[in-house]
Amino acid sequence: MTGSLTILGLESSCDDTAAAIVRQHGAARPRILSSVVYGQTDLHAPFGGVVPEIAARAHAEKIDLCVEEALARAGMSLVEMDAIAVTAGPGLIGGVLSGVMCAKGLATALDLPLVGVNHLAGHALTPRLTDQVAFPYLMLLVSGGHCQFLIAHGPETFTRLGGTIDDAPGEAFDKTARLLGLPQPGGPSVQAEAANGDCTRFRFPRPLLDRPGCDMSFSGLKTALLRARDAILADKGGLTVQDRADLCASFQAAVVDVLAEKTRRALAMYLEHAPDQPVLAVAGGVAANSAIRARLETVCAESGTRFTAPPLHLCTDNAAMIAYAGLERVRGGARDDMTLSARPRWPLDKTAPALLGSGRKGAKA
Ligand code: KG4
Ligand code: ZN
């Protein structure tokens, strides 16, 4: 298909219910006609993490409202869609099922093509939606459930160069916020506190830098933070505003250092493979962190590599990325049918061995 394509995308794999409409004429710049995200942060806040059953119920309640709102904002009706794209995994199974069942219902009722999308591919293809980045490129996908370096060769072809063997950085940010009594999601809260802190006060570990390759580990970091916090509590009986800011700044500096060094190595590996296409794209919720973005930009400058990062609202979970990934699949001739199933796990690189850890949110990104 080379003409105009208008795709309705649905996303419900973790704690955001989202619908969006994306259109592309031929090879022109794709346009997001609408993008609606209903977050569930308040529902999960009392429990200190995402509760799968609460998430699934909220998705089921909200997904059709989300679709209606996306259509209204775009000023369109369902019959104007060319296909329905939906996140079919990886993620929390109840939520993914809500989206997949809704998409199947719409596709059947409207007699439209249905395409299942890998949520991680949605993040990984976002630089093509926002900046029309050509294949191949190096992608750092860094979120609440994932952290991996991928070479993106095509819409459904990825090579994983390395990733976290335990927690994802977003998970570590969220845990840090919980330990310090800051609101969720932890990333933005910790970043805000870190802005007023001294990042040299605590020397937190930079795990796996002594090992070759670009695998990472973040679980030791939150343990180190817990110890530092407890030492202050034992000493002074409480944390001052400055203590908290210094802990956040020192934590964030450790994450930034690890991501910077591992990115340097992943870039070297990637540039051997594609010396004529020096591009690093970053995506996923943690890519919203300004300290991380700034440092990655510096690392890229060292090797004359182009750095691209989506705008903040397209770094965190959204359905525009799902609609766009679906659009690429539809253009490539892919179609799914009513046998499309929801997959809790769905690695992008099917040939790479499983990483050791999968994080709090399982295989979610
Ligand atoms: O990709 P995403 O929206 O979805 C999931 O992984 O579920 O990423 C969410 C993660 C959360 O862990 C959140 O704390 C983190 O991204 N995050 C950030 C920032 N904004 C969101 N982490 C660090 N700094 C930020 N500014
Ligand atoms: Zn995600």
CB 174 near ligand 1, within 6 Å: yes
Phi, psi of 63 (to 5 degrees): -65, -40
Query: Which pTM does this prediction carry?
Result: 0.91
Q: Are 113 and 155 in a shared domain?
A: no
For 42, residues 6+ apart whose C-beta sits below 8 A from its C-beta are none
Q: Are 155 and 295 in a shared domain?
A: yes
Q: Which ligand is nearest to the CA of 15?
A: 1
Total number of domains in the chain: 2
Q: Are 103 and 226 in a shared domain?
A: no
CB 328 near ligand 1, within 6 Å: no
Split at pLDDT 50, 70, 90, the class of 363 is very low
CB 326 near ligand 1, within 6 Å: no
Burial of 275 (0-12, 13-18, 19+ CB in 10 A): exposed
CB 263 near ligand 1, within 6 Å: no
Query: 3-class SS at 184?
Result: coil
53 CA to centre of ligand 1 in angstroms:
21
Q: Long-range contact list for 25-34, CB < 8 A, 24+ apart?
A: 26/2, 29/132, 30/128, 30/129, 30/132, 30/324, 30/327, 32/129, 32/320, 32/323, 33/6, 33/73, 33/74, 33/76, 34/69, 34/70, 34/71, 34/72, 34/73, 34/74
> What average pLDDT does range 248-258 have in this prediction?
98
CB 90 near ligand 1, within 6 Å: no
Inter-CA distances, 203 with 128, 162, 253, 257, Å? 38, 25, 9, 12
43 CA to centre of ligand 2 in angstroms:
18
93 CA to centre of ligand 2 in angstroms:
14
Task: State pLDDT tens for residues 188-243.
Answer: 999 999 999 999 999 999 999 988 999 999 999 989 999 999 999 999 999 999 99
CB 207 near ligand 1, within 6 Å: no
241 CA to centre of ligand 2 in angstroms:
31
Q: Are 28 and 42 in a shared domain?
A: yes
Q: Which ligand is nearest to the CA of 92?
A: 1
Find where tokens 């916020």 sit: 177
Query: What would the DSSP string read from start to end of 300-365?
Result: HHHTT-EEE---HHHHSS-SHHHHHHHHHHHHTT--B-TT----S---S-TTSPPPS---TTTT--
> What average pLDDT does range 136-141 have in this prediction?
97
Q: Are 287 and 340 in a shared domain?
A: no
CB 364 near ligand 1, within 6 Å: yes
CB 191 near ligand 1, within 6 Å: yes
Burial track 186-206 (b if 16+ CB lie within 10 A, e otherwise): bbbbbbebbeebebeebebeb
Residues having C-beta closer than 5 Å to ion ligand 2: 143, 317, 365
Q: Long-range contact list for 290-295, CB < 8 A, 24+ apart?
A: 290/191, 291/191, 291/194, 291/252, 291/253, 291/256, 292/142, 292/255, 292/256, 292/259, 295/256, 295/259, 295/260
Rounded distance between C-alpha atoms, residue 141 and residue 194, angstroms: 23
- Protein residue whose Cα sits closest to atom 16 of ligand 1: 285
Residues of the domain holding 254: 135-310
Q: Residue 98: what pLDDT? A: 95
364 CA to centre of ligand 2 in angstroms:
7
239 CA to centre of ligand 1 in angstroms:
25
Q: Are 111 and 143 in a shared domain?
A: no
269 CA to centre of ligand 1 in angstroms:
27
Query: What would the DSSP string read from start to end of 35-81?
Result: EEEEE-HHHHGGGTS--HHHHHHHHHHHHHHHHHHHHHHHT--GGG-
236 CA to centre of ligand 2 in angstroms:
39
CB 365 near ligand 1, within 6 Å: yes
| 123 CA: nearest ligand 1 atom | 1
Domain end residue (candidates: 271, 292, 310): 310
For residue 26, the 8-state DSSP code is: T
CB 14 near ligand 1, within 6 Å: yes
Q: Are 299 and 218 in a shared domain?
A: yes
Rounded distance between C-alpha atoms, residue 343 and residue 350, angstroms: 14
Is residue 182 within 8 Å of residue 190, measured between CB atoms? yes
Domain end residue (candidates: 273, 292, 310): 310
CATH number at 12 reads 3.30.420.40
For 171, residues 6+ apart whose C-beta sits below 8 A from its C-beta are 144, 145, 218, 359, 360, 361
Q: Are 215 and 329 in a shared domain?
A: no
The answer to whether the Cα torsion of 296, 285, 160, 125 is positive or negative is negative
Q: Are 120 and 198 in a shared domain?
A: no
284 CA to centre of ligand 1 in angstroms:
7
Split at pLDDT 50, 70, 90, the class of 356 is low
Q: Which ligand is nearest to the CA of 143?
A: 1
| 146 CA: nearest ligand 1 atom | 6
Nearest to 146 by CA among 93, 91, 97: 91
Q: Are 170 and 62 in a shared domain?
A: no
Query: Cβ of 226: how many Cβ atoms within 10 Å?
Result: 13
Q: Are 149 and 100 in a shared domain?
A: no
Q: Residue 364: what pLDDT? A: 43
Q: Residue 360: what pLDDT? A: 39
Is residue 63 within 8 Å of residue 11, measured between CB atoms? no
Q: Residue 358: what pLDDT? A: 44
For residue 256, the 8-state DSSP code is: H
Q: Put residue 208 in one of left, alpha, beta given phi > 0 → left and psi -120 to 50 → alpha.
A: left
Q: Are 228 and 139 in a shared domain?
A: yes
Query: What one-letter code names the amino acid at 150?
Result: L
Task: State pLDDT tens for residues 161-177.
Answer: 999 999 999 999 999 99
Of 25-29, 245-249, 288-292, 346-350, the range with the lowest mean pLDDT is 346-350
| 361 CA: nearest ligand 1 atom | 7
Find where tokens 């499983």 sit: 354
Of 281 and 146, the structure prediction assigns the larger pLDDT to 281
